[in-house]
Every structure is written in C-alpha cells, then in structure tokens.
Amino acid sequence: MESKQITEALRGAGLRVTAPRVTTIGVVAEQPHLQADAIAAEVRKRLGSVSTQAIYDILNALTSAGILRRAAVDGRTSRFELDSGDNHHHIVCTVCGRLEDIPCFEQATPCMHPPKGTGFDIKIAEVLFRGVCADCQTP
Amino acid sequence: MESKQITEALRGAGLRVTAPRVTTIGVVAEQPHLQADAIAAEVRKRLGSVSTQAIYDILNALTSAGILRRAAVDGRTSRFELDSGDNHHHIVCTVCGRLEDIPCFEQATPCMHPPKGTGFDIKIAEVLFRGVCADCQTP
DNA sequence: TCAGTTTTCTGGAATCATTCAAGATTACGG
DNA sequence: CCGTAATCTTGAATGATTCCAGAAAACTGA
C-alpha cells in the first residue's frame, strides 16, 4: 500500500493524516494479523516514540472507519489487517497460534447466506476455523 | 437439564460432583450466553458465596471436558452455553449486543468443510454473524 | 501565510476479565 | 470411615485495553 493511497484512505474517511496513522496502516498492510502491542513496537521502530494510547486510538479509529478489520481469535486480544472488502476468513492453529487467511470461495461459504426470518439485518459473517497446522501435526 | 443428567455428565468426564459445578451447569443450561461474572452472580444467588476463582476454574474445566462451549463474541469476554454438539452458530446485534443462536442449516454442517490443501487439520469452525436485530432497526 | 478550531497524541493512572499461588476443604475410592 | 488427590478460598497479579486532562499538531478559512 503506497503512501498516497494511505493518505487518500484517511481523507476519505474524514480522518486527519498523521505520521502515526500512516505508519500504522503501512505496518498492518505489510504484516497482517499483528496484535496491538506488536504493531506499536513496529511503529515505534519506524517513527521513534509513539504512545500506547495513540496506537489504540488509531486502531479503533481506523477500524470503525472501515480501513482496518479486527479479528478476534483468542478472546482476549485483537489482530488487525487491512479491510480490503474481500471477505476472507481465518484459520488458527490451536497448537502454535499461527493465523492464516482463507479466501472466501463462493461455494464453500454457505454460511454467508444466513437464514431469513431471524429479524436480523446481517452485515457480516465471520468464519474462524480452528485446527492444527502442518508443522504442528508431526509427532 | 436435570440434576441427574448433570451428575452423569460430570462423572462421565472424570470430574467430581460438587455443588458449584452442578449449579453452574444448571445456570448455563437455563440461561445460555451469559458471561462469567453473570454466571457467578446467579450461582451465588442459589448457593450463597462462591469464589470468583471457583467459577473460572469450573468454566475452564467444564469447557475442556466438552460439557460447556465457549463463545467469544466481543474479543474480551467469553460467553458460555451447553455443548450439545449440534454445531449451531451465533448472531450478534452490533447495537444492543443481543446474542442469539442460529441452527446450522444446510444440515450437513457446510462450514465444517473448509477448502482442502491448507495443510491444516481442521477441528471446528466458528461462524459468527454480525448485524442489527429487529428491535434496534426501528428509528 | 497565519490564527482559530478541532482532532489527535502524550503521560500516567485505572479498569476489567482472567489467572496465579498457597493453603484449607471436600469428594470419593478403598 | 480414611487417605489422598481434586477442588475451593483468599488475596494478589497480570495483561490488554481504556479513561482522563492537558499539550501538540492538522486542517479551515481569512
């Protein structure tokens, strides 16, 4: 993701363009699925000191602006990735914690077509597979 | 869920039958999707004082025994329900937080069949729909 | 370009769910 | 009914995240 695109994305969302924000988006674009503290570490490596609070503010702002997408995998931390609108899903290794993307195949995602009549106006479906990755399967 | 069934479930899992455990299972059976603190409150209402730690121990023990199922909805708390093995999914209202069950339609648990070739040995699939419930849709 | 306004960032403390640790109790097989 | 291991209690700790108040910086319009 180029700097120009990042700037446009922020402006388009009505957000001010600041170094911490641009850098955060860049980090998430390069390394998806990082947690907040890892993102903070990487942003600081590039910018110098940035407060933890700023990172959380930024992640929350970008997430509600639709620029980032939050993935809750372990129930206590959030992982972030670009919200590219491709509606992909995730698969987590229950042994090592590795997280990978799974593209959203049309056919393989009947769960994206929830039953009618629930009264809910469904916005998104999050699908999370849990299993053991190749590396962790060998004894 | 009757007391007798609860006792059998505990024994079958190799767990000792204690009042806090039996009561916890009863509470979760009657009121699915409660969080730990709400379960603690309800258990205390019925038994008198029970430590918070006991509740967490119990919830963890019952979950890993396959008696309860943990549902992570908001990324920071867990909700609990009986693990009836029916592989149902959940739908959450993004406005009021209401959580409801959705049966795994399509019968054949389609979500359990992720794409091959990932190298992962898939164990389970969690599907979470997010949307706005009927009550929250009206202006 | 510059001042005003509003958003964003800093620094420090607080919160909340959950877990750790050590000792007291209790269930259950023998 | 006893002994032992599992379970519960009490109290403190952890870790991710948020609240707060003030300082700094980014956009707006002149």
Inter-chain CB proximity A102 and B121 less than 8 Å: no
Residue B111, pLDDT above cutoff 70: no
By the 10 Å C-beta count (0-12 exposed, 13-18 middle, 19+ buried), B53 is classed as exposed
Contact residues, chain A, for B35 at CB < 8 Å: none
Give the domains, in start order, of chain B with CATH numbers. Answer: 3-82 (1.10.10.10), 89-133 (3.30.1490)
**Contact between the CB of B123 and strand C at under 7 Å:** no
Extract the tokens encoding A50.
Answer: 């940035």
Inter-chain CB proximity B102 and A114 less than 8 Å: yes
d(CA B36, CA B49): 15
For residue B108, the chain A residue with the least C-alpha distance is A110
- Residues B94-117 as b or e (16 or more Cβ within 10 Å = b): eeeebbbebebeeeeebbeebbee
Structure-token match 């059998």, residue found = B8
Inter-chain CB proximity B110 and A115 less than 8 Å: no
pLDDT value of position A131:
87
Inter-chain CB proximity A111 and B111 less than 8 Å: yes
How large is the average pLDDT for residues B87-111?
Answer: 74
Kindly list the strands in the beta sheet with B34-35, ordered across the sheet, starting from the edge strand earlier in the chain: B34-35, B78-82, B68-72
Q: How far is B132 from chain A (nearest CA, A)?
A: 5
**Contact between the CB of A50 and strand C at under 7 Å:** yes
Non-local CB neighbours of B60 within 8 Å, separated by 6+ positions? none
- Residues A28-38 as b or e (16 or more Cβ within 10 Å = b): bbeebbbbbee
Inter-chain CB proximity B126 and A125 less than 8 Å: no
pLDDT value of position A1:
65
pLDDT digits (tens, 9 = 90+) for B6-65: 999 999 999 999 999 999 999 999 999 999 999 999 999 999 999 999 999 999 999 999
- Provide the residue type at A61 as one letter: A
pLDDT value of position B105:
57
CA of B105 to C1' of C21 (A): 46
d(CA A117, CA B127): 18
Identify the contact set of chain B against chain A, taking CB-CB distances under 8 A: 70, 72, 74-78, 89, 91, 93-94, 100, 102-103, 105-106, 110-111, 113-115, 118-134, 137
User: Measuring CA to CA, which residue among A76, A42, A48, A93 is closest to residue B122?
Assistant: A93
**Contact between the CB of B63 and strand C at under 7 Å:** no
Series of mean pLDDT values for 10-residue runs along chain A (139 residues): 89 96 98 96 96 98 95 88 86 87 58 66 84 84
Of residues B86 and B39, the one with the higher pLDDT is B39
Of residues B3 and B42, the one with the higher pLDDT is B42
